[in-house]
């Protein structure tokens, strides 16, 4: 099943993720303890399928 979000929803979600990544407690991965915010891209997908 494929579900595409409208552009406004996608932008709102991206803005929320960027704000969450600014928080100090989100600067490291909760699972592996590495620095960086690339995990959310993998976990939430690139959306361009």
- The pTM for the full model equals 0.52
Domain boundaries, the chain: 7-44
3-state secondary structure of 48: coil
Residue with more model confidence, 6 or 40: 6
Which whole-number Å values give the CA distances from 2 to 16, 40, 41, 47, 48, in the listed order?
23, 20, 18, 11, 12
Q: What is the pLDDT of residues 10-49, one digit of tens each?
A: 999 999 988 988 888 887 877 887 776 555 555 555 454 4
Residue 28: φ, ψ to 5°: -125, 150
What pLDDT score does 36 carry?
64
Total residue length of the chain:
49
What pLDDT score does 42 carry?
52
Query: Which distant-in-sequence residues (6+ apart) come within 8 Å of 26 by Cβ?
Result: 20, 37
What pLDDT score does 2 carry?
54
Indicate if the pLDDT at residue 3 is higher than 60: yes
């Amino acid at each position: 099943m494929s579900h595409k979000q409208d552009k406004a929803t996608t932008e709102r979600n991206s803005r929320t993720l960027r704000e969450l990544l600014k928080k100090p407690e989100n600067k490291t991965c909760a699972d592996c303890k590495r620095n960086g915010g690339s995990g959310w891209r993998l976990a939430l997908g690139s959306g361009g399928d």
